[in-house]
Homo-oligomer: A and B are copies of this chain.
Amino acid sequence: MYHHHIEDDTHYPGLSVSKGIATPPMRNPYKKTFKHRPQYTTADFVQGILDGDRTVLSLAVTLIESANPVHYAQAQEVVEQCLPYAGKSLRLGITGVPGAGKSTFIDTLGSAIVTSGKRLAVLAIDPSSGRSKGSILGDKTRMNVLSVSENAFVRPSPSAGSLGGVARKTRETIVLCEAAGFDTVFVETVGVGQSETAVHSMVDFFLLIQLAGTGDELQGIKRGIMEMADGIAINKCDGSNIDKANLAKNQFQNALHLFPMPESGWLPQVITCSAYERTNIDKVWKMIMDYATFTQENGYFNRKRRAQGKYWMYETIDEQLRNSFYRNMTIEKMLKKLEHQLDKNEISSFAAAHKLLDVYFDIKSNKEDER
């Protein structure tokens, strides 16, 4: 199941070899054309985006998210033409367990950013859930200030799909937002799945939002996420939580010291704050700006961006190679049998793998049994 081939077939339907007398495509002039082909040309989309038109931007993101191969092909053209105008924003990844107060935090920090004259895009990546289930961003109403600001563009997570697919869509959406003049981009994720690694690989700064609790309450965060953080904000540091928050701050600082210095040369900072009472949010923003200055000066900022570009090329290749293999029906059937043999210790992992690979490469070279 190699997606790109589908696109080629459908993009130029007139060029396909007809099996007999070609039937002209059915057309109902009264049907809304967007269902089959967007009303805007690629040039319309690109111009609208470059003009900073949020309605056109929104339609273009819908195009990116569409499963329709025609939309998909046009989306690729739009992204390609927006690329030269992209790359000039500060990209901030925000993660934290549900209940850490991410929405309020994003709304508070975000409104400070737009008030200062900047333009902010807020995206989400959350492949595990549909629009309304897990993603806080699905509930736009929680972002009271941002949802009505002219300088903000809030976009919920694309509906469920593979992590690779959602990650691609989010990265392409970043390109469009940047081309539309958004100079700050937030990418939000729920800190419970594999999506954090994906977000970490598409942002400049990765912020972990934690709760002002200690011990058991802190254990919700997935192993490894703390180590990706460039900074930790301990939220809900208000009322009776203040002592607990300061304790948690010390704990995290000590834990961070156990790890070696990150490649950026930047020692992750821990800041207590309250998005609800709007305290210390400026400190969090200052930390992020300090990080940007620091890494731009030592060259890490651009080095990381370039590495990310390559990372996603390699990720896409690896995912497609795996899809081509594992979605092959013959392989799927063999795999089940071999897993059973593995469980019974009748075959070595290596021998099982090579049995499958032999069959797969035979199929590929004979072009039989495909998808």
Interface residues of A (CB under 8 A from B): 2, 4, 76, 79-80, 83-84, 86-87, 168, 171-172, 175, 215, 218-224, 226-227, 251-252, 254-255, 257-261, 306, 309-318, 320-322, 324-325, 338-339, 342-343, 345-354, 356-358, 361, 364-365, 367
Contacts and interface: CB of A to CB of B under 8 A. Distances in A.
Contacts of A316: 349-350, 353-354
A83 B349 CA distance: 11
Nearest to A87: B345
Q: What is the count of identical protomers in the complex? A: 2
Which among A251, A347, A354 has the highest number of chain B CB atoms within 10 Å? Answer: A354
Nearest to A220: B260
11 contacts: A79-B348, A171-B348, A219-B261, A251-B258, A252-B258, A254-B255, A255-B255, A312-B353, A313-B339, A313-B350, A364-B364
Kindly list the 8 A-B residue pairs having the minimum CB-CB distance in the complex, ordered from nearest: A316-B353, A312-B349, A313-B349, A219-B260, A309-B342, A223-B227, A364-B364, A321-B321
Given A316-B354, A321-B325, A352-B313, A258 B257 contact: no
Contacts of A83: 345-348
Contacts of A175: 348
Contacts of A343: 306, 309
Given A171-B349, A313-B349, 17 more contacts: A80-B348, A84-B346, A171-B350, A172-B348, A221-B258, A223-B227, A224-B224, A226-B258, A255-B258, A306-B343, A312-B349, A312-B350, A316-B349, A316-B350, A316-B354, A317-B356, A321-B322
A258 B349 contact: no
Given A255-B254, A348-B80, A317 B4 contact: no
A158 to B, nearest CB: 15
Contacts of A361: 2, 324, 364
A31 to B, nearest CB: 31
A318 B320 contact: no
A311 B324 CA distance: 19
A310 B339 contact: yes
B218 A306 contact: no
A270 to B, nearest CB: 12
A84 B311 CA distance: 41
Contacts of A87: 345
A252 to B, nearest CB: 8
A22 B317 CA distance: 43
Contact of A218 (B258, B347, B364): B258
A258 B317 CA distance: 36
Contact of A310 (B219, B220, B257, B349): B349
A354 B321 contact: no
Contacts of A258: 218-219, 221, 226, 251-252, 255
Contacts of A348: 76, 79-80, 83, 171-172, 175
A366 to B, nearest CB: 8
A353 B348 CA distance: 33
B317 A353 contact: yes
Contacts of A312: 349-350, 353
Contacts of A357: 2, 4, 317, 320-321
B342 A306 contact: yes
